[in-house]
Amino acid sequence: MSLDFQLVKVVGQLKELERYPLYEPFAYASIVQDESTGDIMYVLEEIELDSVERQVYEELRRIVMLELPPPEELSKVGDVKNYLLNELKRIVGRYRKLFRNVSSSSFAKFLYYMDRDLLGYGPIDALMRDENIEDISCDGVGRPVYVFHRRYESIPTNIVPMTDKGLDDLVVKLIHMSGRHVSVATPIVDAQLPDGSRIAVTYRREVSPGGSTFTIRRFRKNPLTFAELVKFGNISAEIAGYFWTMLDNGRSFLVLGVTGAGKTSFLNAMATFIRPHMKIITVEEVPEINLPHKNWVRLVTRQSYGSEKINEITLFDLVKATLRMRPDYLIVGEIRGEEAYVLFQAVNTGHSGISTMHAESFEAAVNRLMSPPMNIPPAYIPAMNIFVMVKRVKIGGRLTRRVTEIGEVYMDGDKIRFNTVFKWNPRNDTHESYVSNSVLVRQISDMTGKDVDEVLMEIGTRSKIVSWMVENGIFNFEDVSTYVQTYYTNPDKVLGQVMGKVGEIETTTQV
């Protein structure tokens, strides 16, 4: 790496649990366990530069920095990273004759490090390539960088920032990549990295005595689908069929849970069930929601750069503005302030709404909704028809995510009650169904003229389609969306394929 960041040598009685490439043949991840203590560690193995290569690399890097085009020229380029990578190769190739004693393999290393340091995320670039990592955090100088791994949870890495300057420079680089500014005057910044990840930093020792810190929350490039949620056991196929039917009939829902429980992933997966041509408006602070719908307007807040909040556009401003756009579905990434009141007004006046909120139980959610700054009147709350509780739970010694309860909201006199339609059983890791007692099924029956049994049968039919998709390995976001949209336009075609009576439905990948 460098003197500012080092890959610390791991010692002890180590057992390698797994090893996989991050950027072949230059960077690999190795998960090791100390057999004496049981501690697990993420070890980054990165190809090293010897002392001679390091000197040549620094000189080449200086030349490249001088010859790369200025930012105003880059603004005219479509794919900036690809363009810059080609420029790197061209410049390095032009100056190779100045370093005749350096081998071709060394120049391959130089390109890797220039890509990493100039175009990528510096010393943590390899971690940003690992799809198994959900979070990357640095707590200060001299402390190992930590990652939250999908299979091993929170574990330290062998990457350690050794100097204040190195860590400060990385924080500044990351924030500049986000198009924002960090300084001693504004030492706390939240932003979004070019790949969509969220980053929160503190700069120097203004508010963090241990030095600069950063936390990066990473998101999957391809959103989790409801088929994957069923495959992983987060939900059952019947839960997916239930939400498919509810959203087809314009019902609203609120997803509850703590940070990192999987609220947004669940919301995104269920929103796929909305009818194809409905007008959807999403309102978020950081764009995380990804939908297959064409009639979709995405709105994102704008932060101000001064203490007076001049020109700031908040969630409240955006949610208010959406009501003039006549959405069929209004999706708010997360409610926590006065925007909640506007959302609940919307769902009480005929719009359908979806959102998430931090809460550890249905009762805690209701108390929070009725308290400042949300101040939702109790009579408004049942209009958000369904509450969903998502939690991180331990199964077989490993942490995973489960929808633990789904309840339909209704008023009993002046009391808010919940009718549980699904509940997770931790003893056998299954979701128990009470959907036959559903209040909303009876409401849909009254509205549509169908018998209750017909509505329940429709839930069952859609559940079977979901199960068939899981059994046949249909998990890709575009493919899953295609089946949902085809069911709305030509249900017999989908049912025919599920029953083996017709050929494959054309999707983006082979089914």
CB 477 within 8 A of CB 225: yes
Higher pLDDT, 38 or 397: 38
- 412, containing H or E segment: strand 398-412
Res. 297 pLDDT band, cuts 50 70 90: very high
**pLDDT per residue as tens digits for the range 153-180:** 899 999 999 999 999 999 999 999 988 8
Classify 157 as helix, strand or coil: strand
Q: What is the pLDDT of residue 222?
A: 80
Res. 383 pLDDT band, cuts 50 70 90: very high
Classify 363 as helix, strand or coil: helix
Beta-ladder partners of 268:
none
Judged against a pLDDT cut of 60, whether residue 352 lies above it is answered with yes
For residue 444, report the phi and psi dihedrals to the nearest 5 degrees: -65, -40
Strand duo 213-217 + 253-257: pairing: unpaired
**pLDDT per residue as tens digits for the range 184-240:** 999 999 888 988 899 999 999 999 999 999 999 998 778 899 999 999 999 999 999
Nearest to 229 by CA among 281, 264, 276: 264
Judged against a pLDDT cut of 60, whether residue 365 lies above it is answered with yes
Nearest to 1 by CA among 21, 36, 26, 33: 26
Q: Share the mean pLDDT of the chain.
A: 91
All structural domains of the chain: 12-130 (3.30.450.380), 226-243+250-435 (3.40.50.300)
Nearest to 410 by CA among 376, 440, 444: 440
Res. 92 pLDDT band, cuts 50 70 90: confident
Task: Spell 228-265 as b/e; 16+ CB within 10 A means b.
Answer: bbbbebbbbbbbbbbbbbbbbbbbbbbbbbeeebbbbb
Q: What is the pLDDT of residue 124?
A: 97
